[in-house]
Structure 1
C-alpha cells in the first residue's frame, strides 16, 4: 500500500516540566518526556511515551482513522476500575515523515480526560 502524506505547518516540541493525564479523577499517566503537537486549525495535543502510561488500562480497539498529514491512527479504550473511555486514546504506529517524532506515542482526548502541567 502506498501512503500519500501531505505537508502542513505542524510543530512538535518537548513539553517543559511534567504533564499528567487525569481520567475520571484519577491520574493514568505522568511524563517528563511528552511532546506537544501544534497543528493549525486543531487543538494542541500532548503525546506521551507508552512507558509513562499506567500499565493494564488500555485495550486496543479496531477503530482506525486517517489524517493526510500524520497517517493512519490506531485507537485504544481506557478501562479502569471506575470508568471506561471508548477510543479516547490514539497513536500513529507508522506516521508520515512529517510527524515521525510521535511514532507510537499516545494522545488522549475525551469528556473525562484532563491534561495538567506541573514543574519537575
Structure 2
C-alpha cells in the first residue's frame, strides 16, 4: 500500500518536497572534542533539500551516558515532533546537539530510534566502505 495514499494525521503532503533516507555504506563517528558520542556502521543518510544531508545513527550506537535530554522540541510537517539531547561535557556548545524523531510520522519510520547531530556542535567523521 502506498504510505502517501493515507497519510498519518498531521503529515503535510507536498509533491515538491522530496525526502530520502538511505543506508550509509561505511563508518560514522560523532565526537565532541576527544569524546566519542556515537559510532556506527548502520547509519542512514537523510536528504531533505535545501538542507545539508544528515546522518541518522541508531540509538544502540549512541552513548546516551554522555547526553542529557532537554525540554526543547520542534515540529516538522514531514517527519513529526523532534526531541533533543545536549552533550554534557560540551557545556553550552553542546546544548541541543542531537535530535531524534522518536515517534515520526508513518512516512518516516526509517528514522525511528535514530538520532542526528548538528555538524556545527560536533565533529562527524564519515568513512565510506
TM-score, normalisation: structure 2: 0.82
Deviation at 1:3, TM superposition (A): 3.8
Alignment match, 1:4? 10
Structure 1 SS opposite 2:96: strand
Alignment match, 1:39? 48
Alignment match, 2:88? 79
Aligned-partner Cα distance in 1 for 2:88–2:60: 17
Q: 1:106 to 1:37 in 2, by over 3 A?
A: same
Q: Is the 8 A contact 2:100 2:115 kept in 1?
A: yes
Alignment length, in residue pairs?
A: 117
Alignment match, 2:71? 62
Bigger share in strand:
1
Q: Is the 8 A contact 1:91 1:107 kept in 2?
A: yes
Superposition misfits of 4+ residues, deviation over 6 angstroms: none
Q: Is the 8 A contact 2:97 2:121 kept in 1?
A: no
Deviation at 1:110, TM superposition (A): 4.8
Deviation at 1:5, TM superposition (A): 0.6
Question: Which segments of 5 or more consecutive residues in structure 2 lack a partner in the other structure?
Answer: 1-7
Q: Is the 8 A contact 1:11 1:37 kept in 2?
A: yes
Aligned-partner Cα distance in 2 for 1:61–1:71: 17
> Could you say which structure has the larger radius of gyration?
2
Alignment match, 1:98? 107
Bigger share in helix:
2
TM-score, normalisation: structure 1: 0.88
Question: Which segments of 5 or more consecutive residues in structure 1 lack a partner in the other structure?
Answer: none
Quick check: 1:27 aligned with 2:33? no
Match of 1:16 among 3, 19, 25: 25
Deviation at 1:37, TM superposition (A): 0.2
